[in-house]
Structure 1
Amino acid sequence: MALGLLSTLFLLSRAIDPGQALPFAEKDIQDRLRDQQITGPFFSGASSSGDALSFYADVLTTPDGKVGTNRARNLRATISTPKGTTFRLQSDTADFDLAQDYAELLGDVIFTTSTGYRLTSEKMTSELSNLNVKSPGAVFGTAPAGTLEAGAMSVTQAENDEAPQLLFTNRVKLIYKPKPLIE
C-alpha cells in the first residue's frame, strides 16, 4: 500500500520547467536594475577621533544611480567613544552623501545612549567622519532624571577630549522624576 501511495505521488506531481522565469513583479525587476542594491549591508570602522562606528540596514540602494550617495532602509547604527559612551541610532530610512560627509536619518528616528537617554525625532543629521549628531526639530523621550522635550538637540565631541556633550535647546522641558529612597 505504501508503495502504491509513493508511486501516485510521482505520477500526479507536476513537472517543473527549469527555464521558467522566477516570479518577480515587473516593477521589482525595473527597480533592481535602475538602483544598485545590497541586501543586509554591514559596515564598521573608526572615526579620526577614535570613535568606533558600525551600521547595518535591511537594504542599501544607490538612488537614481548617483555615485557617492546611498539610501538605507531600516537603519541601525552604533557609535562607541573611547571614553566608553555608546550612542545608538535607529531610523526608517537614511540618506548618505560620502562627498559631503553627511547623513540624514528620517522617519521615527530613535536615539539611545548608554547614559540613559532614549529620545525620538522625525529627523536627525550626522557627519560621517566625526561625532556630530543633530536633531533640527523636536525631540521627545526619557532622560536619567525624568521625561524630556526639546525643540532641538545636538551631540558633539568636546575639544578637550572629554566625554561627548548632549545639548538641548529651544524650549527645553524636563519633568523631574526622583528615584525612590531606599531604606
Structure 2
Amino acid sequence: MDRYSRLVAWLKVLLPLTALGLLSTLFLLSRNIDPMAAVPFAETEIAERLKGQQITAPFFSGTTDAGDRVTVSAGTMATRAGTNNEASDLSAQIDLSSGTRIVLFSDKGAFDMMQGTSSLRGNVVITTSTGYKLTSDALHTDFDTLAVESPGPVMGSGPLGVLNAGQMQLQRVGDNENAHLIFTNGVKLIYDPKNLEE
C-alpha cells in the first residue's frame, strides 16, 4: 500500500472521530436554557400592549375627489376602544394633481381612518417640492377635502426667504383650483433674493 492510500485510510477514521469530539464538547459546554423562564419584557410595556391592539409599520393610500394622491404611514399604530388610532413616527405624503408634493412628518399623532383625518403633534415638519420647509407643534389634516391647518405658529424657510406665521393652511378655494399654502395671523418674512437666483 502506497503512502497516499495509507493517508486516506487514516483520514477516514480520524475525521469522523474529530467531528464526534467537537460535537460532544459543544453539548458538554453549552448552557442549560430553562424553557419556563420569563420573557424579558418590562411590566409597563406588557401593560401598554394589553390595553389595545398594535400594528407595526401600517401603510394607507388613497385618492381625493380632486385627484390628489395621499399616502400615510407610521412606525407603530395602537388602537384603543373609543379613541382615535394613536401613532408614532407618523408621516403623510400628498401628491397634488397640479404636480406639487407635500410631505408631513411628526413624532406622534392620531389618525381616524373612518373620518379620513389626522392630528399630528410633536416636532411637526412640513416640506414641499416648491421649496418650503416649515416646522410647527401641531397640524390638523382632513384628507377627504385636503384641508391642512396648523392651529399654532409655523416657522421655516421658503423660496422667498425665512418666514414666521401665526397660522398656516393648505386649501383649495374652488373645486378645480390648485391647492395653495396660505399664511395668516402675523406673517413675518425676511426676504432673501439669493433663494430666487438659485
What secondary structure sits across from 1:14 in the alignment? coil
Are 1:84 and 2:103 an aligned pair? no
Residue aligning to 1:66: 82
Secondary structure in 1 matching 2:174: coil
TM-score (norm 1): 0.88
Match in the other structure for 1:152: 167
Letter in 2 for 1:162: E
Partner residue, 1:143: 158
Change (3 A) 1:39 1:180: closer
Mark the structure with the bigger radius of gyration: 2
Question: CA separation in 2, counterparts of 1:181 and 1:131?
Answer: 28
Give the 5 Å matches for 1:27-38: 27-38=44-55
TM, length-normalised to structure 2: 0.82
Q: Report the residue type matching 1:76 in the other structure.
A: S
Kindly state the Cα deviation for residue 59 of structure 1 after the two structures are TM-superposed: 0.5
**Does 1:125 find its partner at 2:140?**
yes
Post-superposition offset of 1:14: 1.3
**1:16 alignment counterpart:** 33
Question: Do the aligned residues in 2 keep the contact of 1:85 with 1:163 (CA within 8 Å)?
Answer: no
Would you say the 8 A contact 2:70–2:143 is kept in 1?
no
- Number of residue equivalences: 180
CA RMSD of aligned residues (A): 2.3
State the shift of 1:82 in Å.
Answer: 1.1
Which residue does 2:117 correspond to in 1?
A: 102
Change (3 A) 1:180 1:147: closer
Aligned AA for 2:65? S
Distance 1:103 1:30, change over 3 A: same
Moved more, 99-108 or 169-178: 99-108
Alignment partners' CA distance in 2, 1:160 and 1:80: 17
The letter for the 2-side match of 1:127 is: D
* Higher helix content, 1 or 2: 2
Task: Note the residue ranges of structure 2 that are not aligned, 5 or more in a row.
Answer: 1-17
The secondary structure found in structure 1 opposite 2:194 is: coil
SS of corresponding position for 1:50: coil
Aligned-pair identity (%)? 48
* 2:150–2:167 CA contact under 8 A, matched in 1: yes
Within the alignment, does 1:111 sit opposite 2:126 as a pair?
yes
8 Å contact from structure 2 (residues 118, 140) kept in 1: yes
Taking a change above 3 Å as real, the CA distance of residues 101 and 160 of structure 1, as seen in their structure-2 partners, is: closer
Q: Give, in angstroms, the shift of residue 144 of structure 1.
A: 0.5
Deviations 1:50-101 (A, max 9, x none): 11110111100113x226x211101111011111111100001111234554
Q: For residue 56 of structure 1, what is the aligned residue in structure 2?
A: 73
How far residue 7 of structure 1 moved from its aligned partner, in angstroms, is 3.6
**Aligned partners of 2:104, 2:120: CA distance in 1, in Å?**
9
